[in-house]
Amino acid sequence: MARALRLAVAGVGNNISGLLQGAYWYRGLQARGETELPGVRQNAIGGVGVGDIDFVCAFDADPRKIGQDLTDAVLAEPNNYPRLDVELPQQGAIVQLGLVNGGEVTVEDVTKALVDSDAEVLLYSLPTGLQWEAEQYAQAALGAGVAFVNCTPEVVARNPEILAAYEKANVPMVGDDLASHMGSSMVHRSLLSLFAERGVTMSSSYQLNFGGNEDFRNLRENGASKQKSKLNALAQKGIALDAVEIIPSAGYISHLKDNKVAVINIEGLGWAGTPVSLDLKLKVQDSSNAAGVIIDLIRVAAAWRRLGEAGFPIAAASCLKSPAVPHDALTTFAIDEALSMLNERVAAAADRS
Amino acid sequence: MARALRLAVAGVGNNISGLLQGAYWYRGLQARGETELPGVRQNAIGGVGVGDIDFVCAFDADPRKIGQDLTDAVLAEPNNYPRLDVELPQQGAIVQLGLVNGGEVTVEDVTKALVDSDAEVLLYSLPTGLQWEAEQYAQAALGAGVAFVNCTPEVVARNPEILAAYEKANVPMVGDDLASHMGSSMVHRSLLSLFAERGVTMSSSYQLNFGGNEDFRNLRENGASKQKSKLNALAQKGIALDAVEIIPSAGYISHLKDNKVAVINIEGLGWAGTPVSLDLKLKVQDSSNAAGVIIDLIRVAAAWRRLGEAGFPIAAASCLKSPAVPHDALTTFAIDEALSMLNERVAAAADRS
Amino acid sequence: MARALRLAVAGVGNNISGLLQGAYWYRGLQARGETELPGVRQNAIGGVGVGDIDFVCAFDADPRKIGQDLTDAVLAEPNNYPRLDVELPQQGAIVQLGLVNGGEVTVEDVTKALVDSDAEVLLYSLPTGLQWEAEQYAQAALGAGVAFVNCTPEVVARNPEILAAYEKANVPMVGDDLASHMGSSMVHRSLLSLFAERGVTMSSSYQLNFGGNEDFRNLRENGASKQKSKLNALAQKGIALDAVEIIPSAGYISHLKDNKVAVINIEGLGWAGTPVSLDLKLKVQDSSNAAGVIIDLIRVAAAWRRLGEAGFPIAAASCLKSPAVPHDALTTFAIDEALSMLNERVAAAADRS
Amino acid sequence: MARALRLAVAGVGNNISGLLQGAYWYRGLQARGETELPGVRQNAIGGVGVGDIDFVCAFDADPRKIGQDLTDAVLAEPNNYPRLDVELPQQGAIVQLGLVNGGEVTVEDVTKALVDSDAEVLLYSLPTGLQWEAEQYAQAALGAGVAFVNCTPEVVARNPEILAAYEKANVPMVGDDLASHMGSSMVHRSLLSLFAERGVTMSSSYQLNFGGNEDFRNLRENGASKQKSKLNALAQKGIALDAVEIIPSAGYISHLKDNKVAVINIEGLGWAGTPVSLDLKLKVQDSSNAAGVIIDLIRVAAAWRRLGEAGFPIAAASCLKSPAVPHDALTTFAIDEALSMLNERVAAAADRS
């Protein structure tokens, strides 16, 4: 097994709570000799297991988190990811005030903190909509030679100038916008594909999402860009997107806490125009749905860096909604092969050393 | 456009009602200049459109149907496919008493009727479970040099001896068991795939089917082989089938008539074992669901025969649950390519003539 | 059978389209000798059948409707109630420009039009939120001695001064806010009651509503008062309303047109705290859901007036969310008895004449 | 608080597991000072709380249970009620071989065991369909002067001869067939009522039940009487039962264990025949659903006996599907009042002593 991944995080929300608690949860399973790990796509990537993460550095802007050990910070309000049944030691990483538009912390401060903590990857996971912060953190990681992972829809890896700068500096850049582990886009897309493939004409479809974390409160007002992005995620041959309506946040339902519910309907016309009707309810732990994909993104980023590679690794593309190399230039086969090659190269390097 | 397909049918149930009425429904659309045909996978196969079917010969064992013109027979009880809003002329084909175990009609009688009617394809679509009848009709078609299509789970195309006899006699054989247009197996399989692909561990799943046609009454008692076959249809890498339970007929609900409802649930474990839960209701016109696939099976069979080919055309495989060449020896890509080549060869032959 | 009800309408939206088309639809059934009328609570109220409505006067503010015969106006955009399969003659009533805050039409103009048309009832059904218009139309009806029916949540019948003025002038006043025929509040309330009655502790519940008419577009932004009113509609002994969350408009889904979908979930704790979980989808024609209740409100109002009664008839209360005499001062039994008595008095008066 | 209820049980299935574990679960809540008891209709009946049950005698025919302390027996296979998070001491009551048609145990043996254990109530809860056993146990309880509670559809309390014998001997008799705490009949009936009350014409409806305990395996084959009884439970004015179809066991789904799922659909016609459609999924812990009602039935039976009353107490009727005094001869009001009076009389008696 390779050495643990040294991770820095910008943003200490539910996703990080899920990632951190989950890492300990899987370590617990493995300590008890379990070999089947539920909810995991890849037991190891680049030799790094799902529990092999060291959280070495953390930034946030919320006074309830700054100055706290990361373990205490992920459990502080307004986070409401469930408290898993695992022991959580202190991490030794204290949450620092991060970059805020108009604030006093500078890109150089962040670069220095990344270098001092010997981080390999910076995971960017602030609330949606902070384009300035996303770019500044990317600048800081670049300065430190630390791989950057962008979980948000902000345009970073898709910005050719930023990507070129990373390639030139020999630093990996992974983004943009994570594709949830089992998200409503994923399920909706898969069913619409099936309709197209079978020749059942989709006549109308809707998808409504609701939940009880801060995202659903924000998206209820500011869902326009998300709606566009979710529609794009469904785009494919044979599907008339103008018959599909998506509501990113149908409502903030506080008692659902960090759970998300999606309601999907597809109406179709089969042989001789006779009706086909499909109704679906999907319920997931929202931040687990992110963490289950983040774990792969950060491991690909770290492996890419350890191999001395730069820029965007296409092995990460199946975990992204808007990868630097767009989906229509890729195939599932190509992505899977890229991941296999990455693993083989890491293994070969390990054998040599 | 090629000449119309000359079709003989064994069994005059809801599927044939749907096929016949649907053919006129699509002709009506085309007569009104519509170019987009809803509910159709392939507008033309081997140059034959979805409306280009001549019903030239028909067999059944039910006294309510025998002696009737096929148009009257498909509308007679116990059939309960809806009466579509199209004019249905008489077909000129009178339903004849067919093969019955212990009955007086012989294989030779059927062969003669097929030859006399100049049929190209015999569509076998009797109720599930009549292995003897399936084999005898196959024997009769072979004698007449007519392509055979087996819609049922009875073992015909999968029987190596029968298939060899067809190949030797230079006659096409298409089977077994049609894969519905948008069936519950199709949807269930697609969602289980998605779970496996995303690394969300499926912990349990069920699928219940119910409806109001004769099938659901029969299957409630005699569903064991169907249950096995439906489980097989879900088999794939990464799916623990012992956690999946399928009820082929959960109940006969008469007022649903020829509609079928499927209820599917999948429970899974995502990141850190947190729950993922999916509930789905699918409602379809059951016999349209068959007819939408039969239309492709008979057109492939006729094209194969017109090209002078024998045995099993793999271009038919995506419309079958248990093709003569099994699914794990095929890829979607290979099947699609086979269909393209079939169409090209027919077109080339047409150009030459 | 009594003489037809002479109806004036303020607002010519989907509700009036449903009411008018429906009246002809039922006349058609009756003309064909049908005695069972689907979707009707009371075949006759005060001797007036569901088809016995004469539309004699109409007001609106939309230029697409003003100057049109009422039949043309109910079919004009943005109305999207379905066009029922009935012949619709012209009504002879031309839609007039009505009262608009700051407009040129006066209360006296409306009073005069009501008197000239010999209307018995003025049905107020403008979009939600126009308190000024509601009060002015009530003033106009009072001046004409015409019974007033308020379908909207605007405070009219609940305003003691207005009610007193109606009583003094010997004119009936029916309101406020119609309780839909089969609404989500109705279904939700009924299920919450069942939980309370059976002693299953409701731990959380939500209700989301969405649809494709103008209401859902408006309510998505301006749903606060509606949310309050819908919560009130659920209030009852044994139900902890703070655990219930309601979204009046989860989204505007244009292809649903005038249909409304409600999604309801109730989670409960049964014996020993074991879980009880209920999920429900309700789909209705939104304006039919209103028209099915309006038909009763206007017939009660007309009967009340024909009997020479004034003020609020409690026989109308089961069709109202916020009746002038509040629900907690009434019982179902009392309301039913009031309706019986009303019918008996009308019948007795008819016998005498 | 009155003294604990001394209970004998015939049949040691999931219902008794739920009842026994639940009694300790509620004692735990009360010991921690909780005053709100979730999932309970009546905190006390006749002064007896939900935790105040002493299990003093038990009968079964399964060798896996005979000779075991009742605590061990309720946890033995094939029972699969969940193991609640409570400590369960031994009960001191050893499960005895009970009455079996053709077996060696006699009615006199059971009578003696009931007398020796000083039981107040015998709860009869064997699998559905054992009419002989039900009658023999009733005979034994009568001989011992112990109140009898029949949870099953077997005809006992409805048998006028048996009831008369109990009245003559001054012993209470409570039955037949428990009405689940939150059962599918209850929910279905409540919604059909609402349709009738609102004047929305129910055009068709179905209800399917499935689950993973032994009941669902048995009922799949032997559901005819259950289907009849469940239809009867829906009977009410304004509902056309011939349009309702019920499947008591749509399937045995082993991984659901002791959970039950019901799927209910109601299609209706609203104003002008426009469609109303309702789909519902209900999931409950099946045996908790029984235990939540059994707790009331046995407390009513004990209170009735302590008051020196005989025969059928109508205070029990709301917990029964087929009470000795039929539902159409009772009102909810009468039942509630009977329960209040029972409680008052017990309280008055306690004050005197």
Both tokens assigned to D292: 């939540």
Q: What is the rounded distance in angstroms from the CA atom of residue C230 to the CA atom of residue A51?
A: 48
Pairing of strands C53-60, C5-10: parallel
> Residue D71 — pLDDT band, cuts 50, 70, 90?
very high
Does D208 lie at the interface with B, CB-CB under 8 angstroms?
A: yes
- Kindly give the residue spans of alpha helices, DSSP state H, lying in chain B: 14-31, 70-74, 107-117, 131-144, 160-168, 184-198, 214-221, 224-234, 286-306, 332-352
Q: D198–C190: do the CB atoms touch at under 8 Å? A: no
- Token readout for A81 is 């990811």
Which pLDDT does position C235 carry in this prediction? 73
**Neighbors of chain D with 3 or more C-beta pairs under 8 Å:** B, C
**What pLDDT digit, counting tens, does each position of D136-165 carry?**
999 999 999 999 999 998 999 999 999 999
Model confidence at D101: pLDDT above 70: yes
Residues D279, B281: C-beta atoms closer than 8 Å:
yes
Work out the pLDDT band at A142, boundaries 50, 70, 90.
very high
Interface size between C and D, measured as CB pairs under 8 A:
177
Structure tokens at A167: 């390639």
pLDDT of residue D327: 77
- Average pLDDT estimate for A312-334: 88
pLDDT, tens digit, for every residue of C211-243? 998 888 877 777 776 777 777 777 777 778 889
Contact with chain D for residue C44, Cβ under 8 A? no
Q: Find chain D residues with C-beta within 8 A of B280's C-beta.
A: none
For range D194-218, the mean pLDDT: 92
Residue pair C198/D40 in contact (Cβ under 8 Å)? The answer is no
pLDDT at B113: 98
Confidence of residue C82 (pLDDT cuts 50, 70, 90): very high
Nearest-neighbour CA in chain A from B136: distance (Å): 30
Asked if A269's CB is within 8 angstroms of B284's CB, the reply is no
Q: Is the pLDDT of residue A61 over 90?
A: yes
Task: Determine, for residues A247 and C256 on separate chains, whether the beta-carbon distance falls below 8 Å.
Answer: no
Q: What is the mean pLDDT of residues A299-322?
A: 95
* CA nearest to D251, candidates A27, B352, B206: B206
Least confident of A29-38, A142-151, C211-220, D260-269: C211-220
Pick the more confident residue, A201 or A128.
A201
Phi/psi-derived region of residue B322, left when phi > 0, alpha when psi is between -120 and 50, beta in every other case: beta
Q: What is the mean pLDDT of residues C61-76?
A: 97
Strand partners, C275: C269
Written as one string, the DSSP assignment of A128-188 is TT-HHHHHHHHHHHHHHT-EEEE-SSSSSTT-HHHHHHHHHTT-BEE-S-B--TT-HHHHH
What is the percent of chain C with per-residue pLDDT over 70, rounded to a whole number?
99
Angle at A172 (CA atoms; ends A166, A177), nearest 5 degrees: 100
| Number of Cβ atoms within 10 Å of the Cβ of C18 | 31
State the Cα–Cα distance between residues A342 and A346, nearest whole angstrom: 6
Assess D85–B contact: CB distance below 8 Å, yes or no.
no
Average of per-residue pLDDT across C142-166:
96
Task: Pick the residue of A14, A15, A271 with the most B CBs within 10 A to test the interface with B by mutation.
Answer: A271
- Please tell me which residue, A91 or C333, carries the higher pLDDT value: A91
What pLDDT is attached to residue A99?
97
Tally B–D CB contacts below 8 A: 47
| Banded model confidence at residue A156, pLDDT cuts 50, 70, 90 | very high
Single pTM value for the model: 0.92
| B181 vs A contacts (CB less than 8 Å) | 198-200, 270-271
Look at residue A159 in the predicted model and tell me its pLDDT: 96
User: Tokens representing C219?
Assistant: 């309510």
The pLDDT value given to residue C119:
98
Q: D151: which DSSP letter?
A: -
Task: Write down the pLDDT at residue D1.
Answer: 59
Please report the pLDDT score of residue B6 as a whole number.
Answer: 98
Beta carbon pairs, A and C, within 8 Å:
47
User: DSSP state, A94?
Assistant: B
What percent of chain D has a predicted confidence (pLDDT) above 90?
A: 80
Give all chains having 3 or more CB-to-CB distances under 8 Å with chain B.
A, D
Q: What is the pLDDT of residue B346?
A: 93
Q: Averaged over B84-89, what is the pLDDT?
A: 95
Per DSSP, the three-state class of D145 is coil
- SS3 (DSSP) at D139: helix
For the ranges A56-60, A329-333, B195-199, the lowest mean pLDDT is seen at: A329-333
Interface predicted TM-score (ipTM):
0.93
Q: What is the pLDDT of residues D258-284, one digit of tens each?
A: 999 999 999 999 999 999 999 999 999
pLDDT of residue B234: 78
Nearest-by-CA chain C residue for D278: C282
- The confidence score (pLDDT) of residue B1 equals 59
Q: Is the pLDDT of residue B139 over 80?
A: yes
The reply to whether residue D256 touches residue B208, judged by beta carbons under 8 angstroms, is: no
Percent of chain D surpassing pLDDT 70: 99
Interface test with D, best of C86, C274, C296, C299 (most D CBs within 10 A): C274
C201, containing H or E segment:
strand C201-211
A254 touches chain C (CB under 8 A): yes
D296-335, pLDDT tens digit by residue? 999 999 999 999 999 999 999 989 988 999 877 888 888 9
Cα C190 to chain centroid distance, Å, stands at 20
- At B282-321, the pLDDT tens digits run 999 999 999 999 999 999 999 999 999 999 999 999 899 8
B88-127 confidence digits (pLDDT tens): 999 999 999 999 999 999 999 999 999 999 999 999 999 8
Q: For residues C234, C235, C236 and C237, what is the CA-based torsion angle, rounded to 10 degrees?
A: 130
Q: Is D285 on the interface with C (CB under 8 A)?
A: yes
Please name which of D221, D277, D295, D229 lies closest in space to residue D18, comparing C-alpha atoms: D295
Residue whose token pair is 């009178």: B94
- Residue C337: left if φ>0, alpha if ψ -120 to 50, beta else—which one? alpha
Q: If you average pLDDT over every residue of chain D, what do you get?
A: 93
pLDDT > 90 in chain A, percent: 79
